[in-house]
Chain A
């Protein structure tokens, strides 16, 4: 029986290339089929629905086919996912709605400074590979708190690990479900709340029956969809503009054109120096300190996020775990080095074909987005030509052509509108929507699984009922998965205001809470349980305190903790007049809205709260070092275990009871 299962599973691995090759070919054929349907006159709305439902159905079928009743399959996909495929799955796990839809828009708005996110969200994989990932693979954990518990003396460390994990993953998963709702509501015209719960069903179909095993094989399918969707429009655009299908090389020309056009706009009065942020000029949106702080926090956060680390628990060996990190970054790189090209092409289009154009000659692709309130001209939604002309007439001294300061675009539009800018058929827009959905769903799957696994494995099985039989463990795991998913969807449906900032916070919280304890646990044998526990509490506590105070209690931060206003990176002037703001009647208000003059605008050392990990993590390292030195050296046995973790050969340190 066992050998039979082993042969059939090795056949499965051998056939992966054929299976996913066929799948990719099938997907391309499906796109062509829809393109033909469009030509014969099938309406756009139907095409959009076909795209979304076809892809969702494929993920669901994979999810159901890979269902499992084995614990090790459920938690770590049986540890037999080859490096290459695990890399692809990690790519999908990693790239969220924010990467797919938001990244290019951020680069459009911030120019060079936006590259802090591109750097921060790629370089962290270097740390994953050299410092943490392969060692956790050798250790043989199911979850990150598993390691903390083993290395640092039991359930208290485990519990802290679970708190950090839930704190950083929950806000993140909420943002993904929100992203699903946004894409579905925009492309399918569903109501936002309905779309959120429709997305939820998609996520659960993938993850519930098969846990990590099912999530792995669907994430690979989702990666294929998302990367094809991201690259297709921009490759076509590059061919149209420059005749070369490699937009990553041709957009250098676009940047040169943008810079020339910026000068021209200033000279002809189409832009004021205040409204124009030169695309390649650094440090006008972030001060150098914040630019590098964001890079550091995103990188170190990458190496601390449980849903990423646990992907490397699924490889057959430590060696493959390392190779797998390299493949992951290669697959992520394909999207991230294309994002600046999107930004540059869109910016050139806006600067040359919108700015400076007579109001009556605006190109019509704008109006689709204007109707949704995503593009504004002269302060009003750009719904049609008459509305724009009326709005601009109301502006004193308006010259009748669009000026840079008249034009406001929501960052999400950049990727979504590129097919229209390039004049491509609707089928490409539908493809982009399917890609965005794949990005959001795959990340949500990984995060939900990380949270539910921590609750079912760490809290329920390890702390509450260590004798629970397999069936009950898996039932509890699935019930918790559904529970967490529903709570996250309900939170997303309320459209919380801070949702996008929260993704940045998740990285800093993970960095402050996990990084010092994980790194020291592997790299310094002398680290004691007391040291690590104090370090996690101090580092995570400080980071959380800084976030919560600057965002939700800014008045108290100023009054009691000596916080001052952040400054404008270009002029060095304070963002808010603290004395004046503190005199307002609502200055000490707690949980203020984002309109509060102090919210997110105060802090220490002029450090933005997204980068609070930069305060927490060094404190964590320091506390771990000092407290460890004060205490007695860890037992000989524990030190031998650490040696064992460092050697790839041999059995895993932790042997889970699987039946």
Chain B
């Protein structure tokens, strides 16, 4: 019985942390997928030194994409850490 309640508690805590991680990443995704591109006109006035890209164009062509890739590797690590913390991770 104690095992059962213990499991329940771990489940709730695990899911709370998982949800928080999900919302954090969703917010970053929304910022780099949408919000930043709403400011493309002012951002285009900034030219990236040396490379010569207007910043607004660069963000849509490369910047946001790089953020997405990095984010996904980080997410895989962070979620795995949460799973391990509550002993819900798969065996290696």
Q: Point out residues on A near B: beta carbons under 8 Å.
A: 112, 115, 118-119, 122-123, 125-127, 129-131, 134, 248-249, 252-253, 255-256, 280, 282, 288, 291-292, 295-296, 299, 317-319, 322-323, 325-326, 329-330, 333, 336-337, 340, 523, 643, 646-649
Closest B residue by C-beta to A123: B33
Closest A residue by C-beta to B29: A126
Closest B residue by C-beta to A134: B79
Query: Which of B25, B37, B52, B76 is close to A253, meaning CB atoms less than 8 Å apart?
Result: B52
- Residues in B with CB closer than 8 Å to A252 are 48, 51-53, 58
Q: Is A123 within 8 A of B60, CB to CB?
A: no
Q: Is A119 within 8 A of B53, CB to CB?
A: no
CA distance A125 to B29 in the complex (A): 10
Interface residues in B, total, Cβ within 8 A: 48
Query: Which of A130, A255, A319, A340 is close to B25, meaning CB atoms less than 8 Å apart?
Result: A130
Q: Is B33 within 8 A of A326, CB to CB?
A: no
Known contacts A130-B75, A299-B33; A282 and B40 CB within 8 A of each other: yes
- Residues in B with CB closer than 8 Å to A336 are 65
Q: Does B41 contact A (CB under 8 A)?
A: yes
CA distance A643 to B71 in the complex (A): 26
User: Can you name 8 A-B pairs with beta carbons within 8 Å?
Assistant: A112-B57, A252-B48, A252-B52, A256-B52, A280-B57, A647-B11, A648-B83, A648-B88
- Residues in A with CB closer than 8 Å to B32 are 123
Known contacts A123-B29, A323-B76; A329 and B88 CB within 8 A of each other: no
Q: Is A326 within 8 A of B62, CB to CB?
A: no
CA distance A282 to B48 in the complex (A): 18
Q: Is B14 within 8 A of A647, CB to CB?
A: yes
Q: Can you list, as one digit per residue, whether each of B66-90 has a CB less than 8 Å from chain A (1) or not (0)?
A: 1011011101100110010001111
In the assembled complex, how far is the CB of residue A350 from the closest CB belonging to chain B, in whole angstroms?
19
Q: Can you list, as one digit per residue, whether each of B1-26 has a CB less than 8 Å from chain A (1) or not (0)?
A: 00000000001001100110110011
- Residues in B with CB closer than 8 Å to A318 are 90
**Which are the 5 A-B pairs with shortest beta-carbon distances?**
A326-B72, A252-B52, A252-B53, A115-B60, A252-B51
CA distance A134 to B32 in the complex (A): 23
- Residues in B with CB closer than 8 Å to A130 are 21-22, 25-26, 29, 75
Query: Which of B65, B79, B87 is close to A333, meaning CB atoms less than 8 Å apart?
Result: B65
In the assembled complex, how far is the CB of residue A349 from the closest CB belonging to chain B, in whole angstroms?
18
Q: Is B65 within 8 A of A337, CB to CB?
A: yes
Query: Which of B11, B47, B60, B69 is close to A330, meaning CB atoms less than 8 Å apart?
Result: B69
In the assembled complex, how far is the CB of residue A636 from the closest CB belonging to chain B, in whole angstroms?
12
CA distance A388 to B19 in the complex (A): 63
- Residues in A with CB closer than 8 Å to B72 are 125-126, 129, 325-326, 329
Q: A129-B76, A282-B40 are in contact. List 10 more A-B contacts (CB 8 A).
A: A118-B65, A119-B37, A123-B33, A129-B75, A130-B22, A255-B53, A319-B89, A322-B80, A647-B83, A648-B83
